Amino acid sequence: MPRKLGGDVAQVINILRLTELPNDWSLISIDNKTESEVAAIMKESMIFLSFNFREGFGLPPVEAMACGCYIIGYIGQGGREYFNPSFTTAVNEGNIIDYVESVKKIIDKFNVNQDEMLEKGRLASKFVFAHYTIEKETEDTLNIWNEIMQSSKLLAR
């Protein structure tokens, strides 16, 4: 999975490593993994770090949410649609210190009340499967094309 904000990613990861994560937590890269490997990693992970940058939608965080991950990070543009404070933590783009502090805060929450945080992951997954269905995609596509056809007819007159 290519990285757009490599500098931000490196800073966040390096600071987390230098400040020592709790022993039972580790950082796993999904770069250069197959689709199957990425899916397996996401299903095993508690948290996904989002570095969306001006994406129209930003699919990786949604895929992670579908797997039950709690999302922390940058919203990008389209992320406004699914970044919900009930199961995500948004970080202002470029605010590395806030990003690291947010990760540590969520790890602490997992360590204090894992069941509550796992429930947030389940809520994220339910949200994705309720809002991004093939039926809704088909309906949206048809509606868009109907609008395009209607505007084309208006212009042709």
89, 102 Cβ separation under 8 angstroms: yes
pTM of the model: 0.85
- Structural domains in the chain plus CATH codes: 6-132 (3.40.50.2000)
What pLDDT is attached to residue 49? 95
pLDDT tops 80 at residue 51: yes
pLDDT of residue 122: 96
Percentages helix, strand, coil for the chain, rounded to the nearest 5?
60, 10, 30
| Contact call for residues 107 and 113 (beta carbons, < 8 A) | no
